[in-house]
Amino acid sequence: MEAITDEARVTILNKIYVLNGTDDPVSFYTVIGDTGQSGSTDVALVDASEKKTDLFTDYKGNIPVTALGTNNSLKGSRLFISCAINATSNTSNYCEGLVVVSGGDTPATHLLYETVSAHGELSMLTCIIRFR
Give the tens place of pLDDT for each residue, 48-96.
999 999 999 999 999 999 999 999 999 999 999 999 999 888 888 889 9
| Closest residue by Cα to residue 124 from 17, 45, 32 | 32
Q: What is the mean pLDDT of residues 21-39?
A: 90
Pick the CATH number of 4-131 from 2.60.60, 2.60.40, 1.10.8, 4.10.260: 2.60.60
pLDDT over 80 (residue 4): no
73/3 Cα distance (integer angstroms): 26
Give the tens place of pLDDT for each residue, 107-117.
999 999 999 99
52/124 Cα distance (integer angstroms): 22
Write out 18-29 in H/E/C secondary structure.
CCCCCCCEEEEE
14/53 Cα distance (integer angstroms): 19
Please answer whether residues 110 and 99 qualify as being in contact, where contact means their C-beta atoms are separated by less than 8 angstroms: yes
According to DSSP, residue 72 is labeled H
Please answer whether residues 90 and 38 qualify as being in contact, where contact means their C-beta atoms are separated by less than 8 angstroms: no
